Amino acid sequence: MTNKGHNYMESNSLKVYIRTYGCQMNEYDSEIMAGLLENSGYHLTDNPAEAGVILLNTCYVREKVKHKIYSRLGELKKLKEEKPELILGLCGCLVQKEPEEVLRRAPYLDFILGTSNFYQLPEVLEDISGNHNRESQSGDKYARVVRVEEDRAIPEGMPKLRKRRFSAFVSIMRGCNNFCSYCNVPYVRGREVSRPCKDILREIEELAQKGYKEVTLLGQNVNSYGKESREKVDFADLLGFVDQIEGLRRIRFTTSHPKDLSDKLLEKMAELDKVCEHLHLPVQSGSNKILSRMKRGYTREHYQNLVDKLRQAIPEIALTTDIIVGFPGEEEKDFQDTLELVETVGFDGAFTFCYSPLKGTEAAQLEERIPEETSGQRLRRLIELQQKILLRKNEFLVGKEVEIMVEKISKKSSDELQGRTRTNKMVVFEGRKELIGNIISVKIVASGCWALRGEVSSC
């Protein structure tokens, strides 16, 4: 693609600002869009005020996120009024879920792209440039571009502009077949489609050659990788292949569904050197009644049994989770079950949410809604308990030597660096900038809830 279509605009029209909401999968898609744009002659900017194109890559996992996005759009509308040549677009899960509503609430958008259309961004911008200043039949100033299709295959081999230099996200599959009763994902991301193993391996080999030391394999349910494909490669096999890639030092993956974590995978995790000792295993609730209403497909006992097996196979493993409180029908005793499970398992981290009813999901039809005040109180109690547990666990690390990968200069102080342990804990320490990208050993000298403090012991 050439830049001819943009000659009519000021030079900064070639600058694109992308804001990403939500999960790592969205970040990965934004990296693809950024790569495609760079290849087409655009430049990325961190400053929306100097951009000629503003794109929001949206999420719709809870109502709160949706409100945030609409309120940001309201602000951008004002910017567009001041700067009519500004091209404003929306892509991602919110668009896929409610395209008509998006266009009704934000008729000033120049384009919207669904979750299977995002990679068409450069050609869409070209189209808009061509239509610029032309009256559309509907009387809009520009013809708006709307591309929202379902389950369209995403091409392989697209360029990516990665945000990080040593650690990369690699999508291994898209979509989800689980239909947990509260969740939007199957509706906005479609059914499960696994990427061919050879394409995944090629992407990771290229990353390793460029000096990347860590990859995080992404999927809504990585444990079901390959199930729908004709290739006879499951997730455990894939991990085995990735582990052999030269230069790569660490492998992470997310998300694992407790109902699909096989013994074969567990053994592989224990056996493969590069697979880090951390597992994100969302439990959602500790009550069997609520788990069944959530349609999660496992019981509390199954989850606890998995935890026991994981700890037996990998004693140092850190476990993190997601928990929803205030799900319809959650009585105090169900919530107590959740608190008790959290205490027994002793998670190293938990993303905690108040249940948010989402139109079109099964749970939105359920009665016995929990008042917001009750959910809010439960959330606070849960967070308080989890913080106590985490403090206790992190204190236990003081005095120990740990391996970290140095990621960047610390957010809090420019004299300090930060890195992550194999168990995914953040460590802040004093050190030279040249250490960034290296895997080093540090001694933990102090602990806290969000980060540990370390001292460099050897390189």
Report the interface residues with ligand SAH, using CB under 6 A: 61-62, 182-183, 185, 220-221, 255, 257, 282, 284, 322, 324, 353, 355-356, 358
- Options 29-37, 181-189, 223-231, 307-315: segment touching ligand SF4 (CB under 6 A): 181-189
In the complex, minimum distance from the CB of residue 306 to ligand SAH, in angstroms, rounded to a whole number: 14
Q: Is 180 in the site for ligand SF4 (CB under 6 A)?
A: yes
In the complex, minimum distance from the CB of residue 322 to ligand SAH, in angstroms, rounded to a whole number: 3
In the bound state with ligand SF4, the residue whose beta carbon lies nearer, of 70 and 179, is 179
In the complex, minimum distance from the CB of residue 127 to ligand SAH, in angstroms, rounded to a whole number: 33
Q: x/- string (CB under 6 A) for ligand SF4, residues 204-223?
A: ----------------xx--
In the bound state with ligand SF4, the residue whose beta carbon lies nearer, of 99 and 186, is 186
Q: Is 178 in the site for ligand SF4 (CB under 6 A)?
A: yes
Q: Is 55 in the site for ligand SF4 (CB under 6 A)?
A: no
Q: Is 62 in the site for ligand SF4 (CB under 6 A)?
A: no
In the bound state with ligand SAH, the residue whose beta carbon lies nearer, of 186 and 437, is 186
Q: Cα dist. 260→54, 184, 265 in Å?
A: 39, 20, 10
Q: Cα dist. 349→51, 214, 319, 346 in Å?
A: 37, 21, 7, 9
In the complex, minimum distance from the CB of residue 245 to ligand SAH, in angstroms, rounded to a whole number: 25
In the bound state with ligand SF4, the residue whose beta carbon lies nearer, of 48 and 186, is 186
Measured distance CA(254)–CA(249) in Å, rounded: 17
Chain centre to alpha carbon of residue 61 = 11
Q: Is 186 in the site for ligand SF4 (CB under 6 A)?
A: yes
Q: Is 179 in the site for ligand SF4 (CB under 6 A)?
A: yes
Which one of ligand SF4, ligand SAH, none interacts with residue 179, CB within 5 to 8 A by kind? ligand SF4
Q: Cis omega before residue 255 (within 30°)?
A: yes
- Whether 300 contacts 341, CB under 8 Å: yes
In the complex, minimum distance from the CB of residue 176 to ligand SF4, in angstroms, rounded to a whole number: 3
Which one of ligand SF4, ligand SAH, none interacts with residue 358, CB within 5 to 8 A by kind? ligand SAH
In the bound state with ligand SF4, the residue whose beta carbon lies nearer, of 220 and 287, is 220
Selected binder of ligand SF4 within 86, 145, 183, 188 (CB under 6 A): 183
In the bound state with ligand SAH, the residue whose beta carbon lies nearer, of 42 and 182, is 182
Q: Is 321 in the site for ligand SF4 (CB under 6 A)?
A: no
Q: Is 176 in the site for ligand SF4 (CB under 6 A)?
A: yes
Which one of ligand SF4, ligand SAH, none interacts with residue 123, CB within 5 to 8 A by kind? none
- Options 72-80, 179-187, 304-312, 430-438: segment touching ligand SF4 (CB under 6 A): 179-187
In the complex, minimum distance from the CB of residue 279 to ligand SAH, in angstroms, rounded to a whole number: 12
User: What residues line the site for ligand SF4 (CB under 6 A)?
Assistant: 176, 178-180, 183, 185-186, 220-221, 257
